[in-house]
Each structure stands twice: as C-alpha cells, then as structure tokens.
Structure 1
Amino acid sequence: MITRFLAPALAAVALSACATIPETPTAPEPVTLRIIGLNDFHGNIEPIRRPIRVMDDAGVVQEVPAAGAAYLASAVAKYRAQDKHSMVVAAGDLIGASPLASSIFLDEPAIGAMNRIGLTYNAVGNHEFDRGWQELLRLQQGGCTRYTMRDPCQVESDFSGAEFGFLAANVITADGTTLFPAYGIKRFGTGNAEIAVAIIGLTTVDTPTLVTPSGVDGLTFADEAETINALVPELVEQGVDVIVVSIHQGLYTEVGYNDKSCGGVSGPLLDILGRVDPRVDLVISGHTHYAYVCDYSAIDPARKFLVTSAGYGGSMLTDIALTVDPVLGDVIAARADNIIVQSEVRGADGTLLPANPAFEKFAADAAVAAYVARYVDASQAAADRKVGVISGPAPKPGPATEESHLGNLIADAQLAGTRSAGAQIALMNNSGIRAALDPADGTTVSYGDIYAVQPFGNLLITRSYTGAQLLALFEQQFDGEGFMQTFSVSEGLAMIYDLRRPSGSRVVSVMLDGKPIDPAATYRVTMNSFLAAGGDSFTVFTQGADSVTRPVDLDAIEAYLRAVPVRELPAIGRITEIK
C-alpha cells in the first residue's frame, strides 16, 4: 500500500516546490469614522446677536462672536473633510423657539440650511413638536399643506422637505409604530474593511409636558434607556460595528466647554446613561444648552463611551473621531472636541464685533449665505416695524425661579389685553421667555425684538378658577413634577414661598390687591394656550371654566407697548422666597 502511493506523493512534493505559495491576506487597518455632532440649533440661521460666553480650560470666561448657518456650513465642511468616512448627526431642537427670520416661515429655512450643511440624521427634540406632529411630518416630507396659523411655502413655493432623516425611536403612534424610524444605518468602506454605523435617535420622555398637548395628541413617549436597550441586540444581529445614540436630553456641568473631566455633571441624562447597554459606543446629547465632552467611563468604567453636547444655536460643533477595528467590529479609540464656530457678528451700529484671536474664525459659505439672505430679506419688513419704546433693556430670567422685569412686563401686558374677558390675574411661565428684550438702541422696540422674546405664537386664554384651585396651581410650581419654576405674575399679585417646607405646603401666601386669595371665591385668570393645556406640568390650568380666547400673546404685548409713549419696566418684588 505504501509503494502504491509513493510515486504520486513524491510528484506532488516536486510540483509544490515549483508553485507560488499564496500570501496570507493582510488584516485591514483600523478605520477612522468622523462624526460631526450638533444640537439645539433652534433655527439660528443668522449669527447670534451677542457674543457667546464660554469658560476655557484655564477657567477664564471668553466672549466669542459665533453661529450662523453659513459659518456653521464652513466649519462642518472643514472638520468633516479630515476623514473620508464621515457623517453629521444632530440631537434635536433644530427648529422651534427660533429667531423671526426662520420662525415666521415655519422654520423652513432652518431645514433648508441643514440640507445644505449636509446633516445626515436628526433625533427629534421637544421643540420639533411645537407646531404639532403633522407639521413636523411636512417638514420631513415636503409640501405646502397648512397645519398652523401661518402659511407655509411663502419663500420657496416648492418646499421639498428635509433631505436628512428624522429619528424617533421612543415616539410611538396610536398604531404602535414609531412616528419616524427608530434608527438609521450607514455603511462605510468595502470588503473586509467595511464598517456599519447605527444611529438611534430619541427625545426626552418629558416632551408631552414641554409642548402644547395638542401637538403630541395620539403619541406616546417611551422610556429612553428601555428603548435604547431594546434596539441594541437587534442592531448587533444586523452586524452593526458602531452604535451611536443621539438623544435630546442632557447634562449640566461645572467645567469649561471642552474640559474632558465630566466635572460636576448632573441632570436627567445621568440616570439614562447609567441604565444604557454598555455596547453603545457614543452618545450625542442636547436639551440643556450646555457644552461638554464627557468620558463616561470616568463615572462608570463598564460604559466606555463619550457623551457630547455642542451648546446652543449652532455656536459650536463637536468634532468626533472614532477608530474602528473592522475585524473585531468594535470601537478601539474615541476622541472629541467642541469647536466654537466663530463668525462675523454685527453690533447695533452695523459694525463688526471684534474677533477673539484665541479661537479659529470661519468664513461664510457663499451658497448657504445666499440662501439665508433670501429669508432674512423676506422677513426684514416685519422685523423692523417699530412697536413701542421701553425705559431700558430687560434681561430674560436666568434660573426659571427668578423674577424679572421682563416677565412682569409680559404678565402685565397679558392682563391688560384680557381685561375685557374679566381677567384679574395673568400668569406667564418663565420657560416661555426665550430672549432678553434688548433693542438695538436700548429703548426702541421692534417687532423682531418681541418676536425673539415670545416666538411660539400662543393664544391668550382667560378662565375662571376657585381660590382653592388657584392656590393648588401655585403649589405646582414646587411639587417636583417637571422642572421647578415660578410664574411671572401681573401687577397686584404677590406670592411668598419657602422651599424648606414640605412639598404641597411651600406657598406661604398669595395676595391679590393686598388681600389673601379666598379659597371659596372665584377668580378670572389669563394664561397662554401652552399653559392652558397643562404645559410644563401645570395640570390645574386644565380645570378652569368659562374660557374666553383672546389674540396672540405678541399682539397683547405690542398693544401694551403702543399704549404709552414710553413703557416703564415694572419693578421687582412680586415674588419673595423665604430663606
């Protein structure tokens, strides 16, 4: 048997000596994926009027003129070009609470600007629902069907919608499907060097308390961490190498915008992160308007991902580099930096504010600048119209519990505008005051100025409440449901509160024209339509009777300013905290 097979075996050895031995395939090199993170753009297609203030790594507060879609476009293009595999991901509130040039056109220009910037995905935020989910679908799909008080397609008669995808993993419709896709998957490279990247997009579960309830009618908002964790195994099964969460929820920090220490982090996102599947590779966040790059493994070594946020208004972007091993299908290194989008900002006299030499300055992208100019020019006549004169600039409330001249002014205007409906009291939510009333010359107020302060177009509604209901409503300011805020109240009303007392008994007194609120009496109270529907968790507002609807909040404050040659800002002292 051995002799029989010897010759063929020797022949095979001889032949193998002459043959070319195949080379062992070279393992593919790690791949760098470049992700540009954005959040909370809020329709800021123009540069922000005042320089932004940031704390640098040395703890020094710097002022930098920043933002504007044309400058953001240049910055995104520059940092995206560092690697051939790249994408742009936003964590919600692209639209809503926007400056007039975008908001008056239903934020169509914000969508168009993001199309031109090259946004890949946007996770819905709470402000995406300000005008209702049907209008949000229109912004994705295009078209000119009217769902609001304003006409769509005023500048672009063929508005075609977003070229990027909205994502809404935890927004469930009545038929059990998600309003938008739960995630998107992008594949980069080819062959054994291909990597697959999944973006899960979702918003805060608190969204129904932050928007007018009719805007989310029929929708359910699921727990964020549970939603993410249910999707991760599905994505792993599909062979995804990188899992990115883009979430409209955020952190508060005590360190500089680019400090990587996670110093003093707090906020509702922490609970979510602590429950998230460790297979998540990156979290892009927003909502708080804070800027940070936090290596979450410093907090929980089992969860090795970065958590980022790029502040507010397109004033920054987050430059993120993920190094991916295509063989292991895993992220082996991650780095991120927040980049300030220094731009050209003009002061009240039309001259350019000085650039800050400590930061990179970007040129405007010509095509995006021309697109923005179309909308700015179209809005200019409305923005410039004079509506009155005030005694001086009025800052917006800082903390939501801060009494302000501006909040008192708004409440007084709403009371004056609804006296004919029997109003005795007007209450304004501080969270709805979106900007300072800061005229260019310090006193002459334009329509653009008041629009920036109250960009939502809320109606004013006057209802009857018993004194007992009214006292319960004031207790809701401090009951821990939703975030804590005090009302801005109209003239004649005074409230004293003490946070050291137990929840439910923190309001020490409420007086109207010097007399305590009588639980058995009836009072006529004015609020905006957001509050009237129970917004910001003030559910007692929904219990009122005999509703009378009056004009839009902007009409009320315009009429109030026009009524006198100079409107003096009301004094502080209506709200008192015992400490």
Structure 2
Amino acid sequence: MSATSHRPHRRRRTYALVATTAALATAGALAAALPATASTGKGHGGHGHLPSRYQDVQLLSFNDLHGNLEPPAGSAGRVSELQADGTAKTVDAGGAEYLATHLRQARAGKEYSVTAATGDLVGASPLVSGLFKDEPTVEALNKLDLDVSSVGNHEFDEGRQELTRLQNGGCHPTEGCFTDKKFQGADFPYLAANTLDEKTGKPILKPYWVWRKKDVKIGFIGVTLEDTPGVVSADGVKGLKFKDEVETINKYAKELQRQGVKSIVALLHEGGTPASPSYNYDCNASGPGGGVSGPIVDIAKNVTPQVDALVTGHTHNAYSCTINDPAGNPRTVTSAASFGRLFTDTTLKYDRYTGDIARTAVKSTNRVVSRDVPKAPDMTQLISRWNALAAPVGNRPIGYVSADISNTGTESPLGDLIADAQFAYGRKLDPETDLALMNPGGIRAPLTYTAKGTEGDGVVTYAEGFTVQPFANTVNLQNLTGAQLIQVLKEQVSGVNAASPKVLQISSGLTYTLDLTKSGADRVVTDSIRLNGAAIDPAASYRVATNNFLAGGGDGFTTLGQGTNDLVGTDDLSVLADYLTANSSAANPIAPPAADRITVVR
C-alpha cells in the first residue's frame, strides 16, 4: 500500500505487504547516492530540494482501549502524574472525543506520521460499544485514523469468526445489522503473526504490514501474548494455537529484512509493570530496563536487534523505557496505560542511507489525553448516535449505592459485592451452595455514586452494570473437595500466577491470610482458611459458584477446571442486576463492603 494517499480515501484499500514502484526505487537510489555529510533539504523533500539523510517519523500509539468511547468513570478515568517536587497528582483523562483531538493536534505539521495500536481495542467494553458487538469502537478507530494494530487477547472474546467480521465488515451472524447501514469493518489491518490456524499452521490474519511515505518504509509486526488461551474462554480460541512471541517476531523480522524493509517496529500485546504508577516516571533512572519488570523484560532482551522499537500493552500500565537488546544496545519499549487515557508520541529517526532507524536518536514520551481540549465533533456525533440506540436498555435503574464502590486493591469492595451476588444466586439454584469465587480481571470498572447521565446520585443503571461486567459469562456451580479448594486459593500466587498474582474475590463467610512476605503457594496460609469460622476439611465436598471462565480453568486456575456436578446458570450481569435490585432502594442504598475477608501481611 502506498501511504501517500490521504486517509479519508482508504476505504477498500489493499494492504500490500511489499510494494515497489519506479518512483520509490528512484528516490531510494537518489538517497543512497548522497554523501555522508549531505543535507540538501529540510527533511520533507520540498520542490527543488533533495531529501536530507535523516527523516523524523512520528509514531503515535495507544493500547487497551476496550471500547471506552466515553470518558471512563472513577479511578479508571484518571492517571497519576509526578510533579516537580516529587509528589503525584491525579489528572482526569480519556474519552474518544478528546483522544481524537489530541492525536490530530499531535499530527499537525507532521508529514511523516503513522498511528499504531497493540490490541484489546475491543472487548470488555461499556454498553455503548459492547451492546453492538463493538462496531461503534471500530468506527471510532477509523475516524482516529489508526493505521495498524496487533490483536490482543480480547479480540478473541467472541472467537475467530467475530474478529474476522470486525476486520472485514458485515452484519452480525445472529443479531443481524444494528443500523440501516451495513457495518464496513476496520480501515486498518489487524496483525496476528503468532495466532495460527491449528489445521493449516498459518496466521489467521496478516503477520506484518509495511507503512510507506515517499522513500521511507517501516515494517510493523503484530503479535499477542502466547498465553492468550489462558485468559480467554475456550470457545474464543477454538481451532487456534498461539506461538512464542520472540520466536515469531524474529521470524518475520528476517522476512522483512529479506524484502528490503530495514526499519521494524513490533506491536506486542504483552507488557510489564513500572516501578511507579505515574505515567511520567523515569523508568530509565536506574539504567536501561531497570524501572520496569514483568514478561516484557525477557521478551525485549531476546527480540532480534533488527527490531527498532517495541510498542506493548496488556498490563494497562504506562512506561516509556529502554531495555537492552541481545546485542546489548538500548531499545525503546513503550506502553500507554489503557482506556484511551494516554497515547505515546515517539520520534523515529529514519536513515535514508541505510533504510534503518538511528536508534540512539529515538525519543518517546507518554502524553495525557486531558479533557481540557475541544471535543472532536465527529466523535461526539458518533457517540451520540450509538447512545441513542442504547438508551432504552442502558438507562434502566437496577439499584442504588451510598458511595463509590471501587474495584481496586488485593480485595476490592466491588469484588466482595459481586462475589456475594453470585453466592446468593448460587443458593437459589442449589441451597447447598457454600461460597462464590470471582476473578478480578472480570471486573472492568467501579460503581460510582455520581455517574454521567440524568439519573440521580447513587442510582446504578444497566449501562453502569454492563460496564462493570461486560463479558456475558454464566454463573455456574460445581463441586470441589476441600483439598481442591485449598489448591485453588494457592494457585492465586503460584504456577503461572506466581509473578503476577490473581487474587480471587470471595463471598462472605470465606476468610484467610495472604502473607506476601513469603513466596509462591506458601503466601496463602493454609491453617488460616476458614468457611463460616470452620477450617476447610480436605476430604469434604464444597459447592462453589464461579463464572464459566473460571470453571473452565481460566486465569491459571486449573483446579477449578476439575470440578464435578456442574450446573450452568444465567449470565453474570443479570445476577448482579437482580442482587442490586433485591438488596437496595433509594431509601436504603448498598454501602461499599468493608473488604476485610482477606488478611494481607506485607
């Protein structure tokens, strides 16, 4: 594809992996013929001038939007910003209307600019997008002039067929068209280099894409985390296999090099954790890579030096670091938090002599999508149109709260509330139900006392409930032995969860101590586990309510996949809505739970 045509005319463009024209060849030859000290133009190849040796290319990037077209509520809509005196303040951020304005302002005057993302752009979305299978978000991304994205694990929430529809367009196979216009699909290519069809062994979508502007060309390789099957339902990844991230990136970097593409960026839906939660923390203060930990570190250290930068995601964290490549040279690694609260502005210095990026000159910074700029009118119109369609469903009150109920912390007040709701539902299905367990990753937003819209303070609408639990998981029952239940709790902090614990939210009656001064499974103190004050009997049988994702062994809880006597219930959002309706009113709203079921020792 030639990148010289303006974006509004990109519909039905062909995403050619490699395209060679006489004009590009001539420009490349001309640039290569320049002496080492030549700089005969201003870098834009103006009329009557030869291009300079180095060309600044602006790379704008973001990740993990999750369909947050409207400004996220509560803490999900804020970022932490370090101040000159060392303190931190929170800044309201996010919203597609503001993201569009910031991206357009950043591009102003930049002839060489490309915009990329690293997946989870859809999935776990608020009602205005999720109700319509994320068609609104894809439309918004087209308006944002997104050029390319890797897939993330949430792109597989509804399986390969739905991902393909989001790419190519068409009406939903079971729900049909949501408007009188056929959905056109994404203007940008989704890249899935390490997502293979089990039968053919080939990527299900393009593995890479080449951006071109005059004589400048940069290749983008897109991969998702290898452990995608561990964080997505079995139906979502049926018939697919996910290859190692490093192996895949290195393979396609070699292929791009053979095709003459020397400048390469990896778009990777896997990430890390910075030492500070503030987006502008200097994570190179202690040396390359010293300020970030997690899976991305080992990946970055092993990805071939042929790759010039890594744009990452998945962990919802913000960082702009350098991590040494296998040759020991620093390389930029970035992530822009989540929900459209930040975007990363990177300058890649393209060397026309070599066709490569001068890595020592790369500059990158995360920028806040602040709400003090004008809203983009086209995005406001898009959101208003879809909101009007969602209003009859979304505005229905389902309950009342007396204050914000947060979803932060090892044990969160909202996690307790949801676990209690699922426990109460389990007791309706089977009075012998003993407890409920909820995965923290399934809780996508807080419940706020004062929310947008026209409802009174404290009112919880269906739309707010949908934003909290958008996956449409079912609440299931299964039997576990006491020994298995103990093992489940230990799997929170061991095995695949050893480095990044996934602490289950638990229903009332279950208590235990989590000792973070210890390591591995020992962090769960076995003797402290109690149900209604009594020790867990390893030989006894316990009836446990979970969602179907956990019941299938998701998030590394393999023991939950071994339960017996399964009973499938209704969807988890209906369970939460019914619980709120039954247990709250305007006169007696639900107060935030104390979150005191897990004793944490630090």
Partner letter of residue 447 of structure 1? Y
Deviations 1:32-68 (A, max 9, x none): 2221111111111112334523223623423333222
Partner of 1:380: 391
Matches within 5 A, 1:38-437: 38-50=62-74, 52-56=78-82, 58=84, 59-146=86-173, 151=175, 153-155=177-179, 157-174=181-198, 175-189=200-214, 194-255=215-276, 256-263=278-285, 264-297=291-324, 302-332=328-358, 333-343=361-371, 361-398=372-409, 402-422=410-430, 423-437=433-447
* Structure 1 CA distance for aligned equivalents of residues 594 and 272 of structure 2: 34
Deviations 1:288-331 (A, max 9, x none): 2222221335x887334211222221122212221212122121
Q: Are the aligned partners of 1:497 and 1:508 in contact in 2 as well (CA < 8 Å)?
A: no
Moved more, 227-236 or 45-54: 45-54
**2:551 alignment partner, one of 508, 516, 532:** 532
Matches within 5 A, 1:487-506: 487-500=504-517, 503-505=520-522, 506=524
Change (3 A) 1:476 1:139: same
How far off its partner does 1:391 sit?
Answer: 3.6
**Alignment TM-score, normalising by the size of structure 2:** 0.83
**1:562 alignment partner, one of 549, 556, 581:** 581
Deviations 1:469-507 (A, max 9, x none): 222222211213133122211122222343555644534
Counterpart of 2:428 in 1: which secondary structure?
helix
How far off its partner does 1:252 sit?
Answer: 1.9
Change (3 A) 1:259 1:41: same
Counterpart of 1:412 in 2: which secondary structure?
helix
* Structure 1 CA distance for aligned equivalents of residues 462 and 102 of structure 2: 32
Q: Are the aligned partners of 2:63 and 2:338 in contact in 1 as well (CA < 8 Å)?
A: yes
Change (3 A) 1:109 1:288: same
* Structure 2 CA distance for aligned equivalents of residues 291 and 500 of structure 1: 27
How far off its partner does 1:396 sit?
Answer: 0.7
Larger Rg: 1
Q: Are the aligned partners of 1:391 and 1:569 in contact in 2 as well (CA < 8 Å)?
A: yes
* Structure 2 CA distance for aligned equivalents of residues 497 and 291 of structure 1: 27
* Structure 2 CA distance for aligned equivalents of residues 247 and 235 of structure 1: 17
* Structure 1 CA distance for aligned equivalents of residues 496 and 322 of structure 2: 30
Change (3 A) 1:49 1:392: closer
Q: Are the aligned partners of 2:223 and 2:245 in contact in 1 as well (CA < 8 Å)?
A: yes
How far off its partner does 1:156 sit?
Answer: 5.6
Partner of 2:448: 438
Change (3 A) 1:501 1:313: closer
Deviations 1:244-267 (A, max 9, x none): 011111222235423554242112
Partner of 2:45: none
Q: Are the aligned partners of 1:291 and 1:338 in contact in 2 as well (CA < 8 Å)?
A: yes
Partner letter of residue 212 of structure 2? R
**Alignment TM-score, normalising by the size of structure 1:** 0.86
Change (3 A) 1:156 1:136: farther
Change (3 A) 1:471 1:258: closer
Pairwise CA RMSD: 2.2
* Structure 2 CA distance for aligned equivalents of residues 543 and 442 of structure 1: 44
How far off its partner does 1:129 sit?
Answer: 1.4
Q: Are the aligned partners of 1:241 and 1:326 in contact in 2 as well (CA < 8 Å)?
A: no
Deviations 1:523-571 (A, max 9, x none): 2111001111111110111111221111111111111111133334443
How many residue pairs match? The answer is 528
Moved more, 488-497 or 533-542: 488-497
Partner of 2:596: 573
Counterpart of 1:526 in 2: which secondary structure?
strand
Counterpart of 1:478 in 2: which secondary structure?
coil
Deviations 1:193-239 (A, max 9, x none): x1221000111112111111221112111111111111222111100
Counterpart of 1:140 in 2: which secondary structure?
helix
Counterpart of 2:293 in 1: which secondary structure?
coil
* Structure 2 CA distance for aligned equivalents of residues 481 and 388 of structure 1: 37
* Structure 1 CA distance for aligned equivalents of residues 181 and 571 of structure 2: 26
Partner of 1:21: none
Q: Are the aligned partners of 1:70 and 1:368 in contact in 2 as well (CA < 8 Å)?
A: yes
* Structure 2 CA distance for aligned equivalents of residues 105 and 223 of structure 1: 33
Counterpart of 1:470 in 2: which secondary structure?
helix
Change (3 A) 1:364 1:392: closer
Q: Are the aligned partners of 2:312 and 2:333 in contact in 1 as well (CA < 8 Å)?
A: yes
* Structure 1 CA distance for aligned equivalents of residues 121 and 308 of structure 2: 24
Partner of 2:470: 455
How far off its partner does 1:159 sit?
Answer: 0.6
Change (3 A) 1:259 1:570: closer
Change (3 A) 1:501 1:316: closer
Gaps of at least 5 residues in structure 2 are 1-31, 36-50, 286-290, 451-455
Change (3 A) 1:492 1:25: closer
Matches within 5 A, 1:9-28: 26=34, 28=51
How far off its partner does 1:442 sit?
Answer: 5.2
Change (3 A) 1:552 1:367: same
Change (3 A) 1:254 1:416: same
Change (3 A) 1:198 1:575: same
Gaps of at least 5 residues in structure 1 are 1-23, 344-360
Counterpart of 1:82 in 2: which secondary structure?
coil
Change (3 A) 1:311 1:428: same
* Structure 1 CA distance for aligned equivalents of residues 317 and 180 of structure 2: 34
Partner of 1:35: 59
Matches within 5 A, 1:504-523: 504-505=521-522, 506-509=524-527, 510-523=529-542
Q: Are the aligned partners of 1:133 and 1:215 in contact in 2 as well (CA < 8 Å)?
A: yes
Partner letter of residue 364 of structure 1? K
Partner of 1:476: 491
* Structure 1 CA distance for aligned equivalents of residues 533 and 128 of structure 2: 44
